[in-house]
Amino acid sequence: MIVTDPLVATAALADGHLCAIPTETVYGLGANASNASAVAQVFEAKGRPTDHPLIVHVASLEQARQWITELPTWANELAKQCWPGPLTLVGPRTALATDDITGGQDTVAVRVPNHPLTLTVLEQLAAQGVHGVVAPSANKFGHVSPTTAQHVDNDLGAYLDSHQGVILDGGPSGVGVESTIVLATGQAPVVLRPGGITRKMITEITGLEVKESIADAPRVSGALSSHYSPSATVHLVDQSALTAVPSGGLIAFKEVATPAGLTRLSEPLTIDDFAATLYASLRKADELGLADIYVVEPTDEGLAEAIRDRLSRAAF
């Protein structure tokens, strides 16, 4: 059932049911993070491996500190400037973060989403003693993430209806790709998944260079080689190669012409538009029954890195 009243969503979550919640990145499949049976339903509904960690969504930095034992000074500053927003911090877990949330790891991932309806829900839940909501993308595991309530209903509506769950409709997601995940356990930030908060932004805020990788980095959401995948096969191509393509769908900037035989799935003008329409465009190909999707990737840095990351996994 799709609803628009955050009070209905709050009641469902407080009662131990699932609720798909809108965020600025994608829609998340929400459950009371302190209710083990509700968290288990998230894994069941998505078909998600139980060792794959979840992200806890909270209403404020103060509430995030209930989940993470300590944050470096640079991470506190990053949180203050980027929350609410598409940033997830991974830090050492408190006792609240149980193994079913962390995948058995010693770290937990937390963020404050930037959507007015979901922030209202999180604040209302906090007033009732609910410390946070786990909310991986509200779709079948490994498939294209949802950016509208209808996407969620198409993927998980039957499960939610049969388990007294609801979908809170907050309109299309504005950013369109998942949050940047930053490991916040050392003296410098490490990006574990690129997203709406870019490496340049992190450096400007913290004054620190972002590390490319570290040994034994924790597992995080959305980092498997194959992920974000439609039924159609995704091909990453140069613009010059499009003339040799016989049929399929095309995702590229508006300046790229559409050759005969290809169906235009999106033609964004800006990198922000590219990100915001990406998942809907991949889903559109499946709705049209296309077997192949050809994508001319953005080549810039910043948000383009997150787009290329998602597309490389979709095409794996």
The CATH number for 71's domain is: 3.90.870.10
Q: Which amino acid is at 210?
A: V
Average pLDDT for 256-278: 95
Which of 89-103, 171-185, 200-214 has the weakest average pLDDT?
200-214
Q: Give yes or no for a contact between 272 and 303, defined as CB atoms under 8 angstroms apart.
A: yes
Is the pLDDT at 213 greater than 90? The verdict is: no
Confidence tier at 71 by pLDDT (50, 70, 90): very high
Final residue belonging to a domain, choices 206, 221, 247: 206
Residues 80 and 179 in one domain: yes
Is the pLDDT at 191 greater than 80? The verdict is: yes
What is the token pair recorded at 180? 């940047």
Q: What is the pLDDT of residue 245?
A: 85
Residues 264 and 184 in one domain: no
Confidence tier at 188 by pLDDT (50, 70, 90): very high
Residues 50 and 199 in one domain: yes
The total of structural domains in the chain comes to 2
Is the pLDDT at 283 greater than 80? The verdict is: yes
Residues 139 and 13 in one domain: yes
Average pLDDT for 64-91: 97
Residues 193 and 256 in one domain: no
Residue corresponding to tokens 């590390």:
211
Question: DSSP assignment of 157-203, as one string?
Answer: HHHHHHTT-EEE---S-SS-SPPEEEE-SSSS-EEEE--SS-HHHHH
Residues 130 and 249 in one domain: no
Confidence tier at 147 by pLDDT (50, 70, 90): very high
pTM above 0.85, yes or no: yes
Nearest Cα to Cα of residue 77 among 184, 180, 181, 217: 184
- Domain containing 69: what range? 2-206
Residues 91 and 172 in one domain: yes
Nearest Cα to Cα of residue 277 among 289, 287, 265: 265
Q: What is the pLDDT of residue 8?
A: 97
